[in-house]
Structure formats: C-alpha cells, structure tokens
C-alpha cells in the first residue's frame, strides 16, 4: 500500500542512496519511470542491499515517445537493463498520449511472457479508462493519478471501482509545495487533525488515502521522513476528520488543466521525452 516515489531525486548516486535508505527502513515497493532517470539507481541500490528481487515490488512507466507497438518492447528491455532485473512487477503507460492501444498490445505480450507481472495506466480520465477496459483483452490493474485532499476525484474513483481498476495516488502531498496555506502540507484543517492524533500532516494524508484503499507513493530522500511516511498503521481517522477533509477538495489539479492542448504537445515534445541515460 505504501511505496516510495522517485521523481526528481537527482543523480543516480543520489537515487541509489535514497533507495538504500528506503529499503533499510522497510520499504518494499518502489515507483519509477523511464522519464525519472531513477531506474539505474534503484537497480544499484537493490543489488547493494542484498534483498532478493522477488521481495520488492517495482513499477516502471513507458515514456510517451515509446508508446507504440514497435518501440515499447525495446524501451521495456532497456528499463530491465537499468534495473538489473529480468522482470518488473508493474509496467504502466505513463500518459494517455501517442498510440496507447498499440503500446498496450506490445505490453500485453510482455505480460504473457512473464516479463511484467501486471499492467496498468496513469493519468487516464474515467471516459478514456472505460474505453480502454472495453477494448482490450487485458484490463489495466491500476490507474495512477493525481489524488490528494485538495484534488479528490470521487467520480473517477467510482468508475474505477466498477471496473475493478485500483487507484494509486501520485503527489499525495501536492509535491510538498506550501505557501499562504495553499498547499497540502500547510493546510490548517489537516494541521488541526494532525494535532488531535499526535501525527504529522503527511501521516494524516497518507492514512486518509489508504483508508480508501488507495495505494500511495510518497517521495522523500530523507530517512526520518521515510520512516514517518510508513508509520501510519497504528491509528485511524474518525468520521468527523473525514467530513472535514472532504470539504478541502478544490476539484482541480494542482499542476495542469487536462483540457489544455499545449500540455499534450509538451508530453509529446523532445523536452518531455528525455532519453533515460
């Protein structure tokens, strides 16, 4: 239920060091992507830890540029090399762009060959997800989407439950941005609830998500925060807490407008599609 996020950590050495710490304090679920440049550091950390590959759940994601039937298999094999592994646990389409159906056919073959234990998508809206489920033999096991107390997506959640697709939350902390109490981690309501339970705001947010059966991927490079973010199994939110958190929903992404055509151009651009080294 709690994995470690690896977006924007830094160099391979920095990723390796962060993931070694995460493994040391008990994380056994790691989220990466071809886009993050963190696969190599994760592979190195796992090797250095001596922990068996089978004991760790690793997710990676296909870069939009490679999201087509021809390029997806090679891109996947390159990920395996960087991860020093012969399989991944979960392979995702990173965005709903490019030839997602063609890529999915190639990903389905990789799944049948046992090279990825499960398949899923990211950032699919409810309508696109339903179409994808209806028109593919293998349905996505999960949809990884932005979800936080400030962006609660109950309509999407409902459709996903109906189709048996699990929700994974990214940027549960709104990427840690704060200022004028406009972020997740400086929200006054969450601060009050945190004080009541003698927990941090981060722990309240993660607890609120897992209580809804939502998988979480908090990103941090700091060992004490890694421990904090997995120490969420010894308390529960009550109905009053949940009612207050429900009121925090602003109903829109903290990062982008999904209708913005410029964003689709950007996701297809050279700038976004940095080749992992």
Ligand X SMILES: NC(=O)c1ccc[n+]([C@@H]2O[C@H](COP(=O)([O-])OP(=O)(O)OC[C@H]3O[C@@H](n4cnc5c(N)ncnc54)[C@H](OP(=O)(O)O)[C@@H]3O)[C@@H](O)[C@H]2O)c1
Residues at the interface with ligand X (CB under 6 A): 5-7, 31, 94, 122-123, 144, 170-176, 185, 200, 202, 217-222, 225, 228-229
User: Of 60, 59, 48, 2, which Cα lies nearest the Cα of 26?
Assistant: 2
* Tokens describing residue 114: 């046992």
Asked whether 30 and 4 are in contact (CB, 8 A), the reply is yes
Quote the least distance from Cβ 274 to ligand X, whole Å.
Answer: 15
* Tokens describing residue 76: 């996947």
Quote the least distance from Cβ 220 to ligand X, whole Å.
Answer: 3
Query: Which is closer to ligand X, CB of 181 or CB of 240?
Result: 181
Quote the least distance from Cβ 277 to ligand X, whole Å.
Answer: 18
User: Of 89, 123, 128, which Cα lies nearest the Cα of 256?
Assistant: 123
Is residue 36 among the annotated active site residues? yes
Beta strands, E only, the chain: 4-5, 29-31, 57-62, 88-93, 116-122, 142-146, 166-170, 215-216
Query: Which is closer to ligand X, CB of 163 or CB of 256?
Result: 256
Q: Quickly list DSSP for 222-258.
A: -HHHHHHHH--SS----HHHHHHHHTT--SS-SS--T
Residues 6+ apart with CB under 8 A from 166: 141, 142, 143, 160, 213, 215
Quote the least distance from Cβ 183 to ligand X, whole Å.
Answer: 10
Query: Which is closer to ligand X, CB of 12 or CB of 229?
Result: 229
> One of 27, 36, 151, 163 is an active-site residue; which one?
36
* Tokens describing residue 6: 């690896």
Quote the least distance from Cβ 239 to ligand X, whole Å.
Answer: 25
Query: Which is closer to ligand X, CB of 107 or CB of 114?
Result: 107
Query: Which is closer to ligand X, CB of 14 or CB of 240?
Result: 14
Point out the residues that are catalytic: 36
């Amino acid at each position: 239920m709690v994995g470690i996020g690896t977006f924007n950590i830094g160099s391979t050495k920095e990723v390796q060091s962060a993931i070694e710490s995460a493994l040391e304090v008990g994380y056994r679920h790691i989220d990466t992507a071809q886009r993050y440049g963190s696969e190599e550091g994760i592979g190195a950390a796992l090797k250095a830890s001596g922990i068996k590959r089978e004991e760790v759940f690793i997710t990676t994601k296909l870069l939009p540029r490679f999201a087509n039937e021809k390029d997806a298999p090679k891109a996947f094999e390159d990920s395996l090399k960087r991860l020093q592994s012969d399989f991944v646990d979960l392979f995702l389409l990173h965005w709903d762009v490019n030839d997602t159906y063609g890529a999915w056919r190639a990903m389905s073959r990789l799944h049948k060959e046992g090279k990825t234990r499960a398949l899923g998508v990211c950032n699919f809206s409810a309508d696109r997800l339903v179409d994808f489920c209806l028109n593919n033999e293998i349905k996505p096991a999960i949809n990884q989407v932005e979800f936080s107390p400030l962006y609660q997506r109950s309509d999407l959640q409902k459709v996903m439950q109906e189709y048996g697709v699990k929700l994974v939350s990214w940027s549960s902390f709104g990427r840690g941005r704060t200022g004028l109490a406009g972020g997740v981690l400086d929200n006054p309501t969450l601060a009050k609830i945190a004080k009541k339970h003698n927990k941090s705001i981060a722990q309240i947010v993660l607890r609120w998500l897992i209580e809804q059966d939502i998988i979480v991927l908090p990103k941090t490079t700091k060992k004490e925060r890694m421990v904090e973010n997995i120490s969420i199994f010894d308390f529960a939110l009550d109905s009053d807490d949940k009612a207050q958190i429900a009121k925090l929903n602003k109903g829109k992404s903290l990062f982008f407008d999904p209708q913005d055509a410029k964003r689709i151009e950007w996701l297809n651009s050279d700038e976004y599609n940095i080749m992992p080294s």
